[in-house]
Amino acid sequence: MPNPEGPFQPDGATIFLVDEDDAVRDALVVSLRAAGHAVAAFGSARQFLEAYRQGEAGCLVVDMDLPDGGAVGLLRKLAVAQVLLPAIITSRRLRRPPPSGVLPAGRILFLDKPFGVDELLRLIRTAMDAGAGNEPAP
């Protein structure tokens, strides 16, 4: 079912989902696609980095505790490569954002697991709107 608030992604934008948990990743892919979004899913930061092409528009949804460097390591690698994707970090253990200076600059939001798809969609909209230079959604 399409998003009732209408499209908010720029043409060609993709939600890049990186989570090692197959069940979580598969469920989110189904839900995000049902909401009308293009989704590319990866089980590791390495897989994402191998597939991502500089300049692809989208939003990164990444688990904090990936075994191959975690979200922080992935975001640092993207920053070095000057990739400025807005990002949402998900975690079962994160109750507050890491201290300043730990994460690279950029639009980074946080979402505690478990979360509802509506909550994730709201944050994706906020991240994408801000990443496009628009005001964040309320």
Task: Compute CA 126 distance to the chain's CA centroid, rounded to the nearest angstrom.
Answer: 11
Tracing tokens 């948990």 back to the chain, one arrives at: 21
pLDDT lower than 50: segments of the chain: 1-10, 99, 102, 133-138
DSSP single-letter state for residue 33: H
Is there a contact between 97 and 110 (Cβ–Cβ < 8 Å)? yes
pTM listed for this prediction: 0.81
Give strand pairing partners of 61. 17, 88
- Which residues 6+ apart lie within 8 Å of 54 measured at CB? 81, 83
Q: What is the pLDDT of residues 34-58, one digit of tens each?
A: 999 999 999 999 999 999 999 899 9
